[in-house]
Amino acid sequence: MLPMDHVIALSAILFTIGVLGVATRRNLIVILMSIELMLNAVNLAFVGFNRIWSQVDGVAAIDGQIFVLMVIAVAAAEVAVGLGILLAMFRNRDSVNVEEVNLLKW
Amino acid sequence: MTESLIFFALAAFILLGAVRVVASRDLVHAVLWLAVVLVLTAVMFLMLGAPFLAGVQLLLYTGGVITLMLFGVMLTRRHHEIGVEVDSSRRLPGALGALALFGAMACAIFRTDLPAWPSSAPVSALEIGRAFLTDHLIAFEVLSILLLAAMIGAIVLGRQSDFGDEPETVYRKGGRP
């Protein structure tokens, strides 16, 4: 049997790659995809931890998987609004570069 | 033994795909690599005893999100600069921050004594549905309101212009006329 560390470690590495993408790229689509990667990493960790504590006092615990479903729903909402913002930004500024959109930046 | 072999193969491909998503120059390739990562994660869910989540992941992510992302790429790229995508000007601090975060997480993982992978029966859709409509009913309803709000927000943002005049022109700086 595999130790559970592996799944959690995979999740951590995946999350770090997502953070790297958000921090180092400036195309809004790539940033959105990196956020998806991070949410995916979190889902993996949730499922892994749910597997670790799948039995609490003899009763099956599935709260981790419930949480994953909620994260997936929030991710879908985020993509819809994110792409709406992307299209509005492209219409107005003719660019998807986040460094060119700095009207609200101090 | 075969299980760990499958796990490591999956993990390797997931990480390869994730790196390609972040590093790829061509945005269409990046989206397709993201699809690979999400599908392989669904397989991983299957291994971890979450068949329903694997199905949802396939339907929602590879069905919906990837399609939306592809639309985003197709609608916003200009033919003369395909593939030309420059990195952020503050690349080094960002990378260092990400690595510091990874160091903190790795520390936490190494210091925690996680139990071995216990064997348990896969969680069925029946259990998930029952939990959603009993213990987590309020969260479920709030989630549906959130989805409705996101849908309306996306429609409002994606609309060509307001009725009548076009207020967006005020913010236009040297763009198209």
pLDDT tens, position by position, B88-142: 667 788 888 889 999 999 888 888 877 766 667 788 888 888 888 998 899 999 9
Q: Where in chain B is the domain with CATH 1.20.120.1200?
A: 1-83
Alpha-carbon torsion A64, A67, A73, A74, what sign? negative
Q: Do B88 and A23 touch (CB under 8 A)?
A: yes
Ramachandran area for residue A78 (φ above 0: left; ψ -120 to 50: alpha; else beta): alpha
Average pLDDT rounded to a whole number, residues B48-73 = 89
Domain edges within chain A:
4-95
Q: What is the pLDDT of residue A62?
A: 84
- ipTM for the predicted complex comes to 0.89
Question: What fold, for A4-95?
Answer: Helix Hairpins (1.10.287)
C-alpha torsion B166→B168→B171→B176, nearest 10: -80
Q: Which of B7, B28, B53 should we substitute to test contact with A (largest number of A Cβ atoms within 10 Å)?
A: B53
Average of pLDDT values for B28-54? 92
The CA distances from residue A36 to A16, B34, B124, B150, in Å, are: 12, 9, 25, 16
Tell which B residues from 95 to 134 touch A, by Cβ distance under 8 Å: 95, 97-99, 101-102, 105-106, 109, 114-121, 123, 127-128, 131-132
Pick the CATH number of B1-83 from 3.10.20.30, 3.40.1710.10, 3.40.50.970, 1.20.120.1200: 1.20.120.1200
pLDDT band at A70 (very low <50, low <70, confident <90, very high): very high
